[in-house]
Structure 1
Amino acid sequence: MRPLCLALIMSLASALPAAAQDWAVGGFDAVGYTAAGRAVPGRSDISTMWKGRLWHFASEENRARFEADPRSYAPALDGMCPISITEGHPQPGDPRHFAVVGGRLYLLESDAAERQLKTRPQEIIDEARQIWRRR
């Protein structure tokens, strides 16, 4: 019985990271970035599926706002860091580091990238968008 329990536990544990990888924005509430101005953890019981990913929200109201217009809340540049794009080595943004520029959410790879974007946000975003479109 013990080997069977151990095998079951091991198979479930290996499936958890795969499931968590399908969580959009690392499980943070995509609406919370603009509504609260900070990274707000989403709740596991308030979610929706969009573009093959599970999006979590801090409230039913935020989920409804997202479902009404998901493209306006989803991270721009497919969640890639605009600084890394302009530097020629695109990296996924970290949901804990972000900026909202022109009403759009941009995820950044680090504190340093966050500081750099604040120096000339629109110029960097425009350059990153041009590069990202050509890919």
Structure 2
Amino acid sequence: MRKLLMVFSILTFVSNLLAQKPLLNLDDKGVEIEGYDPVAYFTVGKPTKGNEAIKSSYNNSTYYFSSEENKKLFETNPKKYEVQFGGFCAYAVSQGHVSPIDPKFCYVQKDAEGVERLICQHNQKANDLWNKDPNGLFVNANKYWPAVVKNGGKQIPIKGVELSYINIDDSGLAVLGYDVVAYQTDNKAVKGDPKFTEWVHGAKYVFTSREHQELFRESPKKYLPQYGGFCAYAMSLGKVRPVNPEIFSIEDGRLMLQHTKEAFDLFNKDVKGNIVKADTKWPAVEAKKAGHKVKFDKPAK
């Protein structure tokens, strides 16, 4: 009986392992590194756009190459040339979550075993932070990556890393899939297209166009909703409540989402005062709930 239970446990573990979906930073065509040639980073040491007609697939990802020669090199030893951490930002993974990348900040670095690997960073800031301790952070990224994958890219608890608390669903989707840039540029609530996706602090944001995606990538803080994407009026009362993405306002360049029309009206009776209250209460709420699954408070009486 004990042997049967042991066999069952092993089979269950293997089944769960196989069923776990890979976490990959792909475009709408399933392509890694936004179509840049992974081999070129090794051979010429700089970002080189690949040719859509010269491609190869490996580990559920498609790669484009700038030449048939590079494609052949890749297919001879794909493990050598594949991008690390599913194509997400290496620095972000070293901090326990995923973020998008900029192909201009991809390069080759040796891992702890001295093997050259292709890694990418989100932007100049991420690259600078990485280069403060490239070897140590590479070790951390490799150590945390399996847990980050298991957690769907959302922030995992790491000592010394500040956790965030964001209004996301079980898949990590924020703002119920609405384009956070459109609120600012078009002053309207618009559903995003999964073809245009960015990850920030373990939350997934989708956009209506590549242009909006690029605007967000350049300055995510500018477009992110306030108070983790929870109801702004409820936060002025120290409460965590869901939102209706169709009910919003822009206050001094800050996106405020509300739960209901009633919440919107109450918030707008004293916009400045309610923002001060919400700004004051949010840090403590975030600190208390950071790292935990989203759980809404009961409505304020």
The bucket for the TM-score relative to the shorter chain is 0.7 to 0.9
Per-residue CA deviations over 1:53-109 (Å, capped at 9, x if unaligned) read 321111111000000111111111211212112323321333221231111011111
The answer to whether residue 43 in structure 2 is matched with residue 30 in structure 1 is no
Q: Deviations over 1:26-76 (max 9, x none)?
A: 110010111111111011221122233321111111000000111111111
Distance 1:87 1:31 in 2: 27
Match of 1:106 in 2: 119
Question: Who is 1:127 aligned against?
Answer: 140
C-alpha distance in 2 between matches for 1:50 and 1:88:
25
Give the TM-score taking structure 1 as reference length: 0.77
Q: Which is bigger in relative contact order (C-alpha 8 A, separation at least 6)?
A: 1
For 1:97, give the aligned amino acid: F
Q: Quick one: structure 1 residues 53 and 133, their matched pair in 2 at CA, closer, same or farther if it must change by over 3 Å? A: closer
CA RMSD of aligned residues (A): 1.7
Distance in structure 2 (CA, Å) of the matches to 1:89 and 1:62 = 31
Extract unaligned runs of 5+ from structure 1. 1-16
* Aligned with residue 80 of structure 1, among 68, 88, 93: 88
- Taking structure 1 as reference, are residues 56 and 105 closer, same or farther at Cα in structure 2, changes over 3 Å only? same
Q: Give the match for residue 96 of structure 1.
A: 104
Matched position secondary structure for 2:37: coil
Tell me the equivalent position of 2:61: 53
CA distance in 2, matches of 1:133, 1:52: 17
Structure 1: 4+ residue segments shifted above 6 A: none
**Corresponding residue for residue 6 of structure 1:** none
Give the number of aligned pairs: 117
Unpaired segments ≥5 residues, structure 2: 1-26, 111-115, 149-301
What percent of counterpart residues are identical?
A: 26
Deviates more, 1:28-37 or 1:79-88: 79-88
Aligned partners of 2:28, 2:145: CA distance in 1, in Å?
27
